[in-house]
Chains A and B, each alone.
Chain A
Amino acid sequence: MSKRKFGLALTMVLAAGTILGACGTEKAKNNEGTGSKQGAKENNFSIAMITDTNGVDDKSFNQSAWKGIQEFAKENNLEKGDGGYDYLESKGDADFEPNLNRLVRRDFDLVYGIGYLLKDAMEIIADQHPDTMFGLVDEIADSPNVVSIMFKEQEGAFLAGAAAALMTKTDKIGFAGGMQIPVIERFQAGFVAGVAAVNPDIKVDVQYTGDFGKAELGKAVANRMYSSGVDIIFHAAGATGNGVFSEAKERKSADKNASVWVIGVDSDQYAEGQVGDENITLTSMLKRVDVAVKNISELARDGKFPGGEVKTYGLAEDGMALTDSHGAIPDDVLAKVDEFAKKIADGEIVVPEYPTK
């Protein structure tokens, strides 16, 4: 009896396997179908991106890159999906290579990798697929079909530093970084230089949390800084920076007259700083990944893809900017900040790339 049931179970498993297997082949056929359809509308230029491990809605540079792709798609009448535009999120670093491969296999013309972590994976995949164009943000790749997109974060951070130095009342300013890597050190170097350009006597308290995803660490650092008399903190720490915001907001809601400010990073973080009627976001330093992504996409569409080159976006290329302060920064201060911006764009001020040790 039991043997017969065992046999029945085995048969069922086999049957299920066959049915599922059939699904697989059917789908494969469908894929071929769409593949040939794609060939028919070859004139469309298609782009896609994969995120690093922070996801596409990270309120930071992944989101900004996706925004750039969406804008490009809108202007060129692309549809989401094969032959148009799309994105894939990576959950861990083992996903980078397979995700890049998936997009290459779907025949996207230009594939972006957002973040320095993707460098190794991108070089490997780019060498295997020399006919596909790739763009890498925040790192320099060594392949002829990859354009490396770099930013002069130090220039934007310089403006943030100048604004902070002009606004501080306690002459103490804080910098909360994520992991201590070259990109974030450029933020630090520019910020410290910007503060010093206004007033060399102001003390900048530099702290690294060692993580981009732990808000509680950001909160602890902010707590320490505000308690020691710092009144403005610039964070370059991704989601860890959300903790800086929550600490500032708590202090503001406890005491309406408390002078605590946060300078946001990568995208406009004004909405993060809302406390009732007040807002503790002084301004945000924008890293215009969207501008860069759109720009490179346009070049590639027109057959002028700068493969193997390093494209650097700073103030002069509209790759950096401070957002509207919604009245938090008075006009005379803004005028002074704009003056710095002009001098940097003209090359009159060269902002250091590395922090002085």
Chain B
Amino acid sequence: MSNRFVNILVPIISIILGLLVGAAVMWFSGYNPVMGYIALWNGIFGDMYSIGETIRQISPYILAGLAVAFAFRSGLFNIGVEGQLIVGWFAAAYVGMAFELPKFIHLPLALIAAALAGALWGLIPGILKATLHVHEVIVTIMMNYIALHTVNALIKAVSEGGYKTERIHPTASLRSDFLSNLTDFSTLHYGIFVALAMVAVMWFILEKTKTGFELKSVGFNDHASQYAGMNVKKNIILSMVVSGAFAGLGGAMEALGTFGNMVTRGGFTGIGFDGIAVALLGANTPLGVIFGASLFGSLKYGAGNMPNEAGVPVEIVSIVIALIIFFVASGYIIRVLLSKMKKKKEAK
């Protein structure tokens, strides 16, 4: 079996296994798995509206996945994507609401503000890691809480005691009548193109620039990189900053596209944490992240149709979706099994 064949076979087997175990769960809980999966399929691809909403759901996942993957390539575990996304969300919502500018300035400005806010939130753990060797996992987790509650306070401040920011001006909006009409009034917005552009940016930085080579090299072995004359500290900080900027843009998707404002939150969005899984599913490569995000986004959005069309309760749906992702993520097990089978054959 060629490597390429295995690479394609493994995810397919994983998804089928996940679907089967998920079906068993539905079966034993007294629901019809076939109806359930048809509902899931229709929820994702059923009509133009669902397709639009699915793509809309995928956009922030791509950016969150890129953020985790980028840091990971330099050997850093950025758990702070969630917080960077939240500050980016607020920055974009604020710039979108507070200024009145023509669209070709306003929209890019709001996006840049989100990226900068996210980058700043990544800069702090980056500096602490590079200069004082404070572990980035601890710092980024704590930065998530700081982000959540700081932003809640800021929302209160800019809305004069309210619980949400005013809606952004249309000049800062990523929404488009064209995409909306095309998909039967879904909330699909131009954000997907921003996300795909960032995929290209990440690929370009990592594969085509000297900086990217250094970043990857630090990820493989920072001592060797140091010995080779690279500035490890600078690269660690840079990696966190770029990672944070991706995450901040993910927040901008929510601010400028999906919601148009920001509401005080009691808890995290979950997108940032899901981004970790997206990045790992995509093997931390830019292209892989697109696939990981597509899987996550479609399942997350399509699952909402299972209670609607097939009457399967939300709790069971969550288990089924988690099982599918679980099996996809444990593709390694299947890989090992396949190679054992291969060895057996060869021994014969």
The reply on B65 being an interface residue by CB < 8 A is no
Is B94 an interface residue when CB atoms closer than 8 A count as contact?
no
- Bound-state CA distance A99–B304 (Å) is 8
Q: Are A213 and B41 in contact (CB under 8 A)?
A: no
Given known contacts A102-B305, A179-B163, is B314 in contact with A210 (CB within 8 Å)? Answer: no
B38 touches A24 (CB 8 A): yes
Residues of A within 8 A of B46 (CB): 24, 27-28
Q: Is B301 an interface residue (CB 8 A)?
A: yes
Q: What's the tally of chain A residues with a CB closer than 8 Å to chain B?
A: 38
B104 within 8 A of A: no
Greatest chain B CB density within 10 A among A5, A24, A92, A94 is at: A94
B245-280: CB near A (< 8 Å → 1, else 0) gives: 000000000100011110110110110000000000
How far apart sit A5 and B2, CA to CA, in the bound complex (Å)? Answer: 10
Residue pair A179, B5 in contact (C-beta under 8 Å): no
In the complex with contacts A2-B2, A93-B259, A120-B260, A98-B314 CB distance below 8 A: no
A214 surroundings in chain B (CB, below 8 A): 266
B342 → chain A, closest Cβ, in Å? 12
Q: Is B57 an interface residue (CB 8 A)?
A: yes
Indicate if the CB atoms of B261 and A23 lie closer than 8 Å. Answer: no
Most buried by A among B187, B266, B318: B266
A280 to B309, CA, bound (A): 43
Annotate A33-55 by CB proximity to B: 1 below 8 A, 0 otherwise.
Answer: 00000000000000000000001
Say how far B107's CB is from chain A's closest CB, in angstroms: 20
Closest-CB distance, A5 to chain B (whole angstroms)? 6
> In the complex, which residues of chain A have a beta carbon less than 8 angstroms from the beta carbon of B264?
179, 181
Contact B1 A95, beta carbon cutoff 8 Å: no
Complex: A97 Cα to B189 Cα, angstroms: 14
Within 8 A of B (CB), among A77-116: 81, 88-89, 91-95, 97-99, 101-102, 106, 116
Distance (whole angstroms) from the CB of B231 to the closest CB of chain A:
41
How many B residues touch the partner, as a band? 35 or more
Alpha-carbon gap, A28 to B9, bound state (A) = 31
User: Is the Cβ of A6 less than 8 Å from the Cβ of B4?
Assistant: yes
**Which listed residue, A6, A24, A210, touches B152 by the CB 8 Å rule?**
A210
Instruction: Assess the A98–B1 pair: CB atoms within 8 A.
Output: no
24-60 of chain B: CB within 8 A of chain A:
38, 41-42, 45-47, 49, 53, 57
Interface string of B308-326 (1 = CB under 8 A from A): 1101001000100000000
Interface residues of B in 268-309 (CB under 8 A from A): 269-270, 301, 304-305, 307-309
Q: Which residues of B contact A91 (CB under 8 A)?
A: 304, 314, 318
Contacts of A98 in B (CB 8 A): 53, 187, 301, 304
- Distance of A20 Cα from B314 Cα, bound (Å): 23
Whether the Cβ atoms of B38 and A102 lie closer than 8 Å is: no
Residue of A nearest to B56 (CB): A94
Residue A200 lies at the interface, judged by CB distance under 8 Å to chain B = no
Which chain A residue lies CB-closest to B258?
Answer: A94
Asked if A24 and B42 make an inter-chain contact with CB atoms under 8 angstroms apart, the answer reads: yes
Chain A nearest Cβ from B44, distance in angstroms: 10
Once bound together, how far apart are the Cα atoms of A212 and B318, in whole Å? 22
Chain A: minimal CB distance from B248 (Å): 18
Residues of B within 8 A of A95 (CB): 304
Q: Which of B48-92 contact A (CB under 8 A)?
A: 49, 53, 57
Q: Give bound CA distance, A5 to B152, whole Å.
A: 55
Docked Cα-Cα span, A116 to B263, in Å, equals: 11
Task: Judge whether A13 is part of the interface by a CB distance below 8 angstroms.
Answer: yes
Cα A179 to Cα B266 with chains together (Å): 7
Smallest CB-CB separation from A91: which chain B residue?
B314
Which chain B residues border A9 with CB–CB below 8 Å?
5, 8-9, 12
Q: CB distance A5 to B307 under 8 Å?
A: no
A130 on interface, CB distance cutoff 8 Å: no
CA distance A81 to B164 in the complex (A): 34
Assess whether A117 is interfacial by the CB under 8 Å rule: yes
Residues of the A chain whose Cβ atoms lie less than 8 Å from the Cβ of B167 = 120
Question: Which of A98, A117, A179 lies at the interface centre, i.e. has the most chain B CB atoms within 10 A of its CB?
Answer: A98
Task: Known contacts A9-B9, A102-B308; decide if A27 and B38 are in contact (CB<8 Å).
Answer: yes
B178 contact set on A, CB distance < 8 A: none
Q: How far is the CA of A179 from the CA of B187 in the complex (A)?
A: 28
B314 near A6 with CB under 8 A, answer no
- Knowing A24-B45, A181-B163, say if A211 contacts B314 (CB, 8 Å): no
Q: B163 and A182: CB pair below 8 A?
A: yes
**Given the interface contacts A6-B5, A88-B307, A120-B259, does A94 sit within 8 Å of B266 by beta carbon?**
no
Q: Which residues of B contact A227 (CB under 8 A)?
A: none
The smallest beta-carbon distance between B40 and chain A, in angstroms, is: 10
On whether A13 and B269 interact (CB within 8 A), knowing A89-B307, A120-B259, the answer reads no
On whether the beta carbons of A93 and B38 are closer than 8 Å, the reply is no
B185 within 8 A of A: yes
Known: A120-B261, A210-B149. A5 touches B5 (CB 8 A): yes
What separation, in Å, do the CA atoms of A211 and B266 have in the docked complex? Answer: 5
- Nearest opposing residue in chain A for B54, CB measure: A98
| Among candidates A88, A99, A101, A182, residue contacting B49 with C-beta atoms closer than 8 Å | A101
Please give, as numbers and ranges, the residues of chain A lying within 8 Å of B267 by CB-CB distance: 211, 213
User: Chain B residue with minimal CB distance to A212?
Assistant: B266
Q: Is A356 an interface position by the 8 A CB rule?
A: no
Give the distance in Å from the alpha carbon of A13 to the alpha carbon of B12 in the complex: 8
**What are the 9 tightest A-B residue pairs by CB atom distance, in nearest-first order?**
A2-B2, A211-B266, A181-B163, A102-B308, A89-B314, A6-B5, A27-B38, A23-B38, A128-B185
Instruction: Please name 5 further chain A to chain B contacts, defined as beta carbons within 8 Å, in addition to the given A2-B1, A5-B1, A93-B263, sorted by A numbering.
Output: A24-B41, A81-B311, A92-B269, A120-B164, A213-B266
Pairs across A and B, CB under 8 Å, 15 listed: A2-B2, A5-B5, A6-B5, A24-B45, A27-B38, A88-B304, A88-B308, A91-B304, A92-B270, A93-B259, A98-B301, A98-B304, A181-B163, A210-B152, A212-B266
